[in-house]
């Protein structure tokens, strides 16, 4: 290859073919340290978006959990587990999962909920200690996608509790007036 004006060169056809380079592709040239000097030519894809597929998790929540797990591996990752074997969140994981809350070491130690995982389902997102049982309940249909019980008796009990609570609120506010 002859270097022309402004350091231009033409890639020989067989080299281009070997690299799989087509018009519009980008090739990266690197010059590693060492003597004699040499250059390496590497094709790069126009886009690497999605090349790893679901290897970091299938949902945004799983991907954040992936990062949290890697970060937790730097410290004491064993924060204990719930009765069903669900691991509790470490302090670092808790800071990420509960990003809207200012999780301090003191609050993390005091408030058990900050050690609970959040359900992956976007409609549910409840903080649950026994997440394995909770996921199984979702899978079996015992819980709907919002995390509410689906059996009629339980729904009736919940409605009755909510109505009672609303009545008590109304009663308190009327007395305050």
Partner 1 sequence: MAPLDPPHERAGALTAPSLESALPPGARLLLDTSALIAYLGNAEPTTPVVSRIVEDLVGTGRNAAVVSAVSAAELLVGPLRAAAAVAEARVLEFLRGYPNMEVVPVDLAAAQEAARLRAAHRFAMADALVVASGIVRGATVLVTADAAWPTLLALRRPSVSVCLLRSFVVRGG
The residue count for binding partner 1 (CB under 8 A) is 35
Is residue 93 a contact point for partner 1 (CB under 8 A)?
A: no
Token output for 54: 């679901």
Task: Please give the Cα distance from 46 to 173 (Å, whole number).
Answer: 63
Give yes or no for a contact between 96 and 108, defined as CB atoms under 8 angstroms apart.
no
Task: Please give the Cα distance from 45 to 171 (Å, whole number).
Answer: 67
Considering only the stretches 7-15, 98-106, 123-131, 158-166, report the one whose residues sit in contact with partner 1 under the rule CB under 8 A: 98-106
Is residue 95 a contact point for partner 1 (CB under 8 A)?
A: yes
Q: Which is nearer to partner 1, 59 or 158 (CB)?
A: 59
Choosing from 11, 12, 25, 54, the residue that interacts with partner 1 (CB under 8 A) is 54
Closest to 41 measured CA to CA, from 30, 52, 51, 25: 30
Other Cβ atoms less than 10 A from the Cβ of 124: the count is: 18
Interface residues with partner 1 (CB under 8 A) are 26, 28, 30, 42, 44-60, 63-64, 66-67, 70-71, 74-75, 92, 95-96, 99-100, 102
């Amino acid at each position: 290859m002859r270097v022309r004006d402004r350091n231009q060169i033409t890639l020989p056809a067989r080299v281009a073919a070997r690299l799989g380079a087509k018009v519009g592709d980008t090739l990266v040239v690197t010059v590693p340290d060492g003597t004699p000097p040499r250059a390496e030519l590497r094709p790069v894809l126009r886009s690497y978006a999605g090349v790893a597929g679901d290897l970091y998790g299938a949902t945004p929540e799983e991907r954040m959990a992936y990062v949290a797990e890697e970060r937790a591996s730097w410290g004491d990752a064993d924060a204990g587990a719930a009765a069903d074997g669900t691991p509790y969140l470490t302090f670092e994981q808790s800071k990420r999962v509960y990003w809207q809350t200012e999780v301090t070491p003191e609050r993390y130690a005091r408030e058990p909920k900050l050690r609970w995982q959040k359900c992956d389902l976007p409609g549910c997102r409840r903080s649950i200690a026994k997440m394995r049982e909770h996921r199984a309940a979702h899978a079996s249909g015992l819980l709907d996608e919002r995390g509410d019980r689906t059996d009629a008796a339980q729904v009736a009990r919940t409605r009755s509790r909510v109505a009672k609570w609303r009545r008590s609120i109304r009663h308190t506010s009327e007395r305050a007036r």
